[in-house]
Amino acid sequence: MAQEAAQWPPEETLSLWKREQARLKARVVDRDTEAWQRDPAFSGLRRVGGVDVSFVKGDSVRACASLVVLSYPELEFCLQVAKQNGSSLPSACQPFRCWKQLRAP
pLDDT digits over 5-58, tens only?
Answer: 456 778 888 888 899 999 999 999 999 999 999 999 999 999 999 999 887 777
Residue 97 falls inside a structural domain: yes
Residue 23 falls inside a structural domain: no
Q: How many CB atoms lie within 10 A of CB 83?
A: 19
First to last CA, the chain: 35
Q: What is the pLDDT of residue 10?
A: 81
Those residues with Cβ within 8 angstroms of residue 101's Cβ, 6 or more apart along the chain or in another chain? 79, 80, 81
Domains: count for the chain: 1
Residue 77 falls inside a structural domain: yes
Q: What is the pLDDT of residue 7?
A: 65
CA distance 34 to 18: 30
Q: Give the residue among 53, 50, 43 at the shortest CA–CA distance from 88.
A: 53
Residue 26 falls inside a structural domain: no
pTM: 0.57
Residue 72 falls inside a structural domain: yes
Residue 75 falls inside a structural domain: yes
